[in-house]
Amino acid sequence: MLVGSTAYHVIAAASIPKIATWLRKRYFFSRCHQPGRRLGAESIHRNGRSITMKDEVGRHLKGAPLPDASWHYSPDLVDRLVDTIPILVKSKQQTIDFFRSAGVAEALLRKIQATVSTDARSISKYEIARIVIRQLNDGGDRFLRERREIIRRVTQWEDFTLSWPNDQDKARGLVAAVRQIVDVRDSFTRMQQERDQERLARIREREEQLERKRSHRAARTALRTRMIDLKGESNPQRRGRRIEVLLSDLCKVEGIQIREPFEVRSAGTPEEQIDGVVMADGHLYLVEVKWWSEPIDIAPMSSHLLRLFRRPDVRGLFISNSGYTDPAVQACRDVLSQKLMVLAELNELTLLLEGDRPVEDWIREKTATVVTEREPFRILIR
């Protein structure tokens, strides 16, 4: 059987979740509810503004932190303080002075002081403590400082010689009991604050993720619009430059490393024109883009294959607006054991940007189709 303080600790630890729920309800209803009134009809005041209970609950559900209720006395703490404070001192006047020294306003003590001065027998030390503590508790945030100061004084009380000799041991036990209640509440408050911080961090992380997705989707939509607008460009040179810029912007949006168009020179003379180099799935791809009215034939395909053969460990990505002839596709298939070429259509990218599928994932699947099925050109849009 568990006895004494051990049993108390076990019960207190097991009751923390219930204490949490109870404290929240206690806080809201003690602040905002009176019998016979609608929920939210009563209000409290914060920073000069009237706040209803519905406002408080709504703010909490939206993620706002709860108001500081950690020192709003619960019934068990009220009872324990009422039992403890009167026994720490010897007289009724000293009980009043205890509250006065804790900063309790004279307006709250005036009536009790008058009663003690004129008819001390009509009121006990315990009644004095209960009246003052209830007034402070019902006062909400107005008396938060006084409530905290009372708790601080009781929990730090060490001079038990101020009690009657026969009450000193009892006073020590009651102070220890108050400390124990406060420790449980402090532990709950810290755990609640940690949970609130974790929850808010998760909310912020989700919001940031959603914002990144929204921005990414908006950027892809803008790129798709620009691709469609290319069809209205009649000047081949301007259209070529626009395609190069568009592909560069696409790789930046998708987080794909890219080297923009460049020339390879030999003895100061241009030898090769490379439309771009991208790093996808850990592999380098030499990119060639053509906007022709006719399908890509063997000649331009052979030129791009030759660029691959001049470089080790590099793959090819050919993007055409008009498809490919069978000889061009066969040429890529014939050299597959030596060089890998991925053939794509510009419309694939246009359709791809309608959804959320990453471009790098699309390149990976097309590459796998080339390797496993020896099929350089297959349109893959889900």
Same domain, 194 and 317: no
**Residues contacting residue 240 through CB under 8 Å, at least 6 positions apart:** 289, 291
Cβ count near 118 (within 10 Å): 8
C-beta of residue 188 within 8 angstroms of C-beta of residue 105 = no
Which residue from 37, 35, 74, 67 is spatially nearest to 51, judged by alpha carbons? 67
Same domain, 126 and 256: no
Q: Which amino acid is at 70?
A: S
Domain boundary among 148, 176, 198: 198
Q: Which residues of 274-307 are buried (b: 16+ CB within 10 A; e: fewer)?
A: bbbbbebeeebbbbbbbbeeeebebebbeebbeb
Same domain, 105 and 242: no
Same domain, 45 and 187: yes
Same domain, 12 and 120: yes
Q: What is the pLDDT of residue 66?
A: 42
Q: pLDDT digits over 235-250, tens only?
A: 888 888 888 889 889 9
Q: Is residue 230 part of a domain?
A: no
Q: Which residues of 235-254 are buried (b: 16+ CB within 10 A; e: fewer)?
A: eeeebbebbbebbbebbebb
What's the rounded mean pLDDT across residues 338-350? 94
**Pairing relationship of beta strands 257-259 and 276-280 according to DSSP bridges:** antiparallel
Q: pLDDT digits over 170-212, tens only?
A: 999 999 988 888 877 766 566 677 777 888 888 999 999 999 9
Q: Is residue 218 part of a domain?
A: no
Q: Is residue 228 part of a domain?
A: no
Q: Which ranges constitute the DSSP H helices of the chain? A: 4-14, 16-32, 53-61, 75-88, 92-101, 106-118, 125-138, 144-155, 168-229, 236-254, 298-309, 326-334, 346-352, 359-373
Q: Is residue 224 part of a domain?
A: no
Same domain, 186 and 282: no
**pLDDT at position 315 over 80:** yes
Q: How many domains does the chain contain in total?
A: 2
Same domain, 18 and 152: yes
What's the rounded mean pLDDT across residues 150-178? 92
**pLDDT at position 17 over 60:** no
**Residues contacting residue 65 through CB under 8 Å, at least 6 positions apart:** 196
- Give me the domain span that covers residue 286: 236-373
Same domain, 184 and 240: no
Q: Is residue 338 part of a domain?
A: yes
**CATH code: domain of residue 340:** 3.40.1350.10
Structure tokens at 326: 């069978």
Q: Is residue 50 part of a domain?
A: yes
**Edge-to-edge order in the sheet of strand 276-280:** 257-259, 276-280, 283-290, 315-320, 341-345
Q: pLDDT digits over 262-304, tens only?
A: 888 877 787 888 888 999 989 999 999 998 989 999 999 999 9
